[in-house]
């Protein structure tokens, strides 16, 4: 098996288990305007398509070829990123939701992965997709990673706005001052 095939397999396993676990979440207490989530969802879908096309023989071009050792190292980063998403989801438990709407028992969780970054699922996905693009070395993969970075940035900022409103600017603001948004150990701006 090649590093590229192993990375594709890791993504497939992650996606299947993520979708299968979708029913394991709390009921939402209210619904936000789902239209506000549409831009990030459209960009995410576009990024997925771009990255998937990097596995097709024909495409826009190869930017670089990763040596096997680099390929296996990127697999380690992909696996680490995907495992971090699962650690975050499991730590959040039934409070996790696929939408930005608050759940019935909504509260700030600032332990585990949420003590490292405020959006650990997004941070893990970004690590995994950047590592995937680095291994693929194709225009489509790099473009897909850049589009996903934009999608996650939009989504995280939207969620931040909802969390400040739903949990209170004082309480959520204190969490924001302690914990970086997406990059672990990054200096937090006040």
> pLDDT band at 22, cuts 50/70/90?
confident
**Cβ neighbourhood burial of 166 (10 Å; 0-12, 13-18, 19+):** middle
Quote the pTM value.
Answer: 0.89
CA distance 186 to 123: 12
pLDDT tens across 147-176, in order?
999 999 999 999 999 889 888 889 899 999
pLDDT tens across 88-112, in order?
999 988 888 776 666 667 788 999 9
Kindly compute the dihedral angle of the four CA atoms of residues 74, 77, 81, 86, in this order, to the nearest 10 degrees: 100
Could you tell me the domains of the chain? Answer: 36-178 (1.20.120.1630)
């Amino acid at each position: 098996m090649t590093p590229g095939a192993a990375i594709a397999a890791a993504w497939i396993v992650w996606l299947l288990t993520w979708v299968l676990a979708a029913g394991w979440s709390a009921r939402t207490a209210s619904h936000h305007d789902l239209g506000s989530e549409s831009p990030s969802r459209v960009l995410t879908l576009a990024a997925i398509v771009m990255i998937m096309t990097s596995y097709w023989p024909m495409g826009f071009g190869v930017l670089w070829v990763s040596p096997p050792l680099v390929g296996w190292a990127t697999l380690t980063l992909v696996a680490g990123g995907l495992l971090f998403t699962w650690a975050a989801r499991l730590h959040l438990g039934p409070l996790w939701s696929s939408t930005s709407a608050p759940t019935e028992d909504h509260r700030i969780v600032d332990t585990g992965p949420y003590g490292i970054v405020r959006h650990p699922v997004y941070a893990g996905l970004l690590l995994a997709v950047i590592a995937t693009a680095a291994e693929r070395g194709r225009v489509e993969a790099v473009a897909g990673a850049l589009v996903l970075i934009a999608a996650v940035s939009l989504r995280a900022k939207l969620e931040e706005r909802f969390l400040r409103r739903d949990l209170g600017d004082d309480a959520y603001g204190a969490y924001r001052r302690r914990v970086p948004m997406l990059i672990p150990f990054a200096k937090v701006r006040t």
